[in-house]
Chain A
Amino acid sequence: MKYTEEHEWLRLEDGIVVVGITEHATEALGEIVFVELPETPIDVSKDDDVVVIESVKAASDILAPLDGEIIEVNSILIENPALVNEDPLGTAWFFKMKLKDDGELDGLLDEDAYKELIS
């Protein structure tokens, strides 16, 4: 698993990267009440706003972690935004993407580096 400084996690599965947000992020955001996902497929550049989530407190953007193409979104979250709080590392993934360059994953944080970031 890889992480970004924006509190996203990335998991490489059969050449596809699954993206979600960390438990630390959901704790900071509070209960999620709204998720807006992009139409797919869509080409994205690193740091593009791709997902909007709203908690009981405020709206936040989730950014594209790297360049690539989002090929699938987790539509369950539209009907059940609370799943993000319940299972952020599992069933509440946000989108799947094909990276322009899989090698760029190596530039992201590993688990130890992310833990240090949030400690």
Chain B
Amino acid sequence: MTDLKKTPLFDLHETLGAKMVPFTGYLMPVQYPLGVMKEHVQTRTHAGLFDVSHMGQVIVRAKSGTQADAALALEGLVPMDILGLGVDRQRYAYFTNENGGILDDLMIANRGDHLFLVVNAACKQADIAHMRTHLSDTCTVEELEDRALIALQGPAAQDAMATLTNATSEMKFMDVANVNLMGVDCWVSRSGYTGEDGYEISVPTSHVEELTKALLALDAVEPIGLGARDSLRLEAGLCLYGNDIDVETTPIEANLTWAIQKVRRNGGARAGGFPGAEKILDHIENGAPRRRVGLRPDGRAPMRDGTQLFADGTSDNSIGIITSGGFGPTVEGPVSMGYLPQDLAKVDQEVFAEVRGKRMSARVVALPFTPANFKR
């Protein structure tokens, strides 16, 4: 336990009565006294505040001083259009490896004179080393250790932010902006990991507790732990790195092809040029052997990650696996995501999961399980 790190909000979590658990090297709040189910519903109906300070915040800056040089350099590591990413805009991305697998997924924002990246906590050291190895000729890669990150999510998020600033209400989904909150320069994006409207706020460590307390003082805002964060993202059909995507899954298998812009695909002006391009572009052209799908169990039993999938009630050969699963409080039933062979990865397909030695039926459904509620 002594090796576990604490975020700058650790003391506040304790004061709020959070149950703290180890998570990717940090002691993080898994739930508050409200409980996972009510925290989930709170975020869908009002607003929830999440401490995500464990995530990595990284600045990539061109040594030449020309932003396009940094964008083009980063395009050597991700299959996204970074050169075409507008100023004050953010984009979902992933680092790929030579086999076409996914090293991590991340957000990339164009903040004018630099690129701002938010990466997963468990991968941040590897991501930074990866970027330094491949980008150092042209870019500096700086990990920000003096900034915390919080997320305010839910339909009441806009009004909650409006109590502190008039600069965020007009932002659209995936816009980013420098916003002065309580006298401090914050970097705000209109994005999140819940399927709801909301913001992610990078704030200097010295001021995060004050800002968090101000937001929590509002009637519509409650603190939300990792438990509800997981059920919210699962209902939203969003991948958890290490569960739903990893070095063994190509982006096409992971059903994340939408994140690869045309300019990086065959026929595009900057086609390929990222690790694993040959395999990834081949999967786009010719299909992948398997695909990530949404699954609704027919019964009430949750089908959790690691559960094997079968074509019928008796056959011995597993055809796939569940990578995330649990109870969806908004769906009011069990929900799962997993991988199936391409020919079975179609809506309404019946498959069987082996739960505690028993075969239980489930059906492929379209993702997300709950409609996204973004400010477009």
Contact = CB atoms under 8 A, between A and B. Distances in A.
Interface of A: 30-31, 33-34, 36, 52, 54, 56-59, 78, 81
A52 B301 CA distance: 10
A30 B35 contact: yes
Contacts of A52: 301, 356
A34 B37 contact: no
A36 B301 contact: yes
Interface of B: 31, 35-37, 227, 231, 300-302, 304, 326-327, 329, 334, 356
Instruction: With a 10 A CB-CB cut-off, give which of A31, A56, A78 has the most chain B CB atoms.
Output: A56
A84 to B, nearest CB: 13
Contacts, number: 38
20 contacts: A30-B36, A30-B37, A30-B227, A31-B35, A31-B36, A33-B300, A33-B302, A33-B327, A33-B334, A34-B301, A34-B334, A54-B302, A54-B327, A56-B37, A56-B231, A57-B36, A57-B227, A59-B302, A59-B304, A59-B356
A78 B300 contact: yes
Nearest to B36: A56
A56 B227 contact: yes
Contacts of A81: 300
B79 to A, nearest CB: 35
A118 B226 CA distance: 26
Nearest to A61: B356
B361 to A, nearest CB: 15
Nearest to B30: A57
Contact of A30 (B31, B304, B356): B31
A56 B31 CA distance: 11
